[in-house]
Amino acid sequence: MELLSLKRVNSFQPIREVVLSDLVKWISSQNGSPINLSEALISSIYTIVSRSAFGDKCKDQEEFISVIKESIKVAAGFDLGELFPSAKWLQHVTGLRPKLERFHRQTDQILENIINEHKEAKYTKDKDDQGEVEEDLVDVLLKYEDGSNKDFSLTRNNVKAIIQDMFGAGGDTSSSTIDWAMAEMIRDPRIMKKAQAEVREVFKTKGRVDENCMNELNYLKSVVKETLRLHPPVPLLLPRECGQACEINGYHIPIKSKVIVNAWAIARDPNYWTEPERFYPERFIGSTIDYKGSNFEYIPFGAGRRICPGSTFGLRNIDLTLAMLLYHFDWKLPIGTKSEELDMTEQFGISVRRKDDLLLLRFVYHPLNVK
Ligand code: HEM
């Protein structure tokens, strides 16, 4: 289905490069004091997702991003009401449900405006016959809303839900992976140096990072694989229902049981991994283990029919951002913070991120070649 524009990741190339060039310019403009890299990464990744979904001239995108970010923060918190789901009154006492309902109404209204703007723009384009215009995800989804396709159709609510899923599932997961990768490399300067040397060598003649040579970055890709092994942003896969009764390790699992797979624990299991707690990207060099869900000891994107549909899009965002950060800048911890003391405590939420924001000093190596 064409909706899987998500798979046609190349069409998002210009969007990614523009947004990440803005990130590089912003980092270059920060002089002296430590940069909150975590915050900057979240904003950039949401902007990439948003421009891919809504196009680059959507006036409501800032507001949408800010409501989504806020609702993810609230939804990720602990709620006593969830422990006692039958006590409906408790959900109102804790205040979570009314808050989420308010966010839902807000995002629903913004999405309604965005969809109407897209319909209006399409009508004007058809009327004026302006020829080929770049399509974004909303344009693609709307083709299935009008019922003209006999094989497949979407309701307005379906369209809104898909867009919300893309933000909910595609924002924090990618930005926290980049954050963890930078934190791990700061803790081990040998790895940072090696990844940086590779990126600088590959883009030496071009003088700037672009997506066309990303496949040559073997070591950087191993760094990303190792980051997703130790820090999978979705440590517990989506719940499954057991289709037939079975026995695992002597435990009887009745039919219809809810089964939750712990991808985090599997990826640290000493039966499958040597020195499982060590961050060591070299373990993936020359290895055939990939993200497709067929190596069950490594399933950061899940496996089977419910495997993550956004993995290609997410990985491109992660690889390119890291390559740009490493190409343009040298990085150090703020004075007084030792790399071995960097706190790697996890914080549970919609995705698992580092508890503390990553504050770093940057030193410009190659300024952005502004055209
Ligand atoms: C580092 C980046 C990402 C990681 C590690 C990740 C991981 C995952 C995992 C583990 C699942 C559950 C799979 C299962 O239970 O078998 C999932 C589901 C999903 N992901 Fe991702 N994801 C990432 C990025 C993205 C992006 C960028 C998008 C979309 C733009 C996305 C969209 C989705 C959706 C829609 C689902 C639900 C699929 C379903 O219910 O069938 N993800 N993801």
For the stretch 4-28, pLDDT in tens is 444 444 466 688 888 999 999 999 9
Residue ranges of domains in the chain, CATH in brackets: 2-55+134-364 (1.10.630.10)
Atom of ligand 1 nearest to the CA of 228: 5
Q: Could you give the CA distance from residue 108 to residue 352 in angstroms, rounded to a whole number?
A: 26
Atom of ligand 1 nearest to the CA of 305: 41
pLDDT score recorded for residue 136: 84
For residue 136, which of 259, 5, 14 has the smallest C-alpha distance? 5
| Cα 350 to Cα 7, 23, 38, 258, 354, distances in angstroms | 23, 24, 16, 20, 13
CA of 165 to the centre of ligand 1 (A): 9
CA of 166 to the centre of ligand 1 (A): 9
Atom of ligand 1 nearest to the CA of 171: 27
CA of 218 to the centre of ligand 1 (A): 23
For residue 163, which of 112, 202, 122, 199 has the smallest C-alpha distance? 112
Q: Could you give the CA distance from residue 127 to residue 331 in angstroms, rounded to a whole number?
A: 52
Top-confidence residue, 133 or 117? 117
Half-sphere exposure of 305 (CA within 13 A, CB side): 2
- Exposure string of 176-197, with b = 16+ CB inside 10 Å and e = fewer, is bbbbbbbbbbbbbeebbebbbe
The amino acid present at 348, given as its one-letter code, is F
Does residue 346 contact residue 180 with C-beta atoms inside 8 Å? no
Top-confidence residue, 77 or 251? 251
Does residue 60 contact residue 113 with C-beta atoms inside 8 Å? yes
Q: Whose CA is nearest to atom 1 of ligand 1?
A: 174
Structure tokens at 315: 């990985």
Does residue 272 contact residue 295 with C-beta atoms inside 8 Å? no
Q: What is the DSSP letter of 151?
A: S
For the stretch 263-300, pLDDT in tens is 999 999 999 999 999 999 999 999 999 999 999 999 99
What is the full DSSP assignment across 62-96?
HHHHHHHHHHHHHHTS--HHHHSTT-HHHHHHHSH
CA of 162 to the centre of ligand 1 (A): 12
For the stretch 120-156, pLDDT in tens is 877 676 666 655 566 788 888 988 987 777 888 999 9
Q: Whose CA is nearest to atom 39 of ligand 1?
A: 306
For residue 229, which of 306, 323, 301, 313 has the smallest C-alpha distance? 301
CA of 310 to the centre of ligand 1 (A): 6
Residues whose beta carbon lies within 6 Å of some atom of ligand 1: 6, 165-166, 169-170, 173-174, 177, 228, 232-234, 237-238, 300-303, 306-310, 313-314
Q: Mutate which of 3, 308, 353 to test ligand 1's pocket (most atoms within 8 Å of Cβ)?
A: 308
For the stretch 155-208, pLDDT in tens is 999 999 998 888 888 888 999 999 999 999 999 999 999 999 999 999 988 888
CA of 309 to the centre of ligand 1 (A): 6
The amino acid present at 133, given as its one-letter code, is V
Report the helix count and the strand count for the chain, using DSSP H and E: 13, 9
Low-confidence winner among 39-43, 69-73, 339-343 (lowest mean pLDDT): 69-73
Structure tokens at 204: 């030496």
Res. 361 pLDDT band, cuts 50 70 90: very high
Helix (H) or strand (E) holding 224: helix 218-230
Does residue 217 contact residue 319 with C-beta atoms inside 8 Å? yes
Average pLDDT over residues 325-346: 91
Average pLDDT over residues 57-85: 73
Q: Is 242 annotated as a binding residue?
A: no
Q: Write the burial class of residue 340 (CB in 10 Å: 0-12 exposed, 13-18 middle, 19+ buried).
A: exposed
For residue 180, which of 2, 365, 354 has the smallest C-alpha distance? 354
Task: Give long-range contacts, CB 8 A cutoff, 24+ apart: 190-193.
Answer: 191/223, 191/279, 191/281, 192/326, 192/331
pLDDT score recorded for residue 166: 87
Q: What 3-state class would DSSP assign to 247? A: strand
For the stretch 236-250, pLDDT in tens is 999 999 999 999 999
Structure tokens at 291: 């993200």
CA of 362 to the centre of ligand 1 (A): 32
Q: How far is CA 228 from the centre of its chain?
A: 12
Q: Mutate which of 301, 306, 350 to test ligand 1's pocket (most atoms within 8 Å of Cβ)?
A: 301
Residue 230 has pLDDT above 90, yes or no: yes
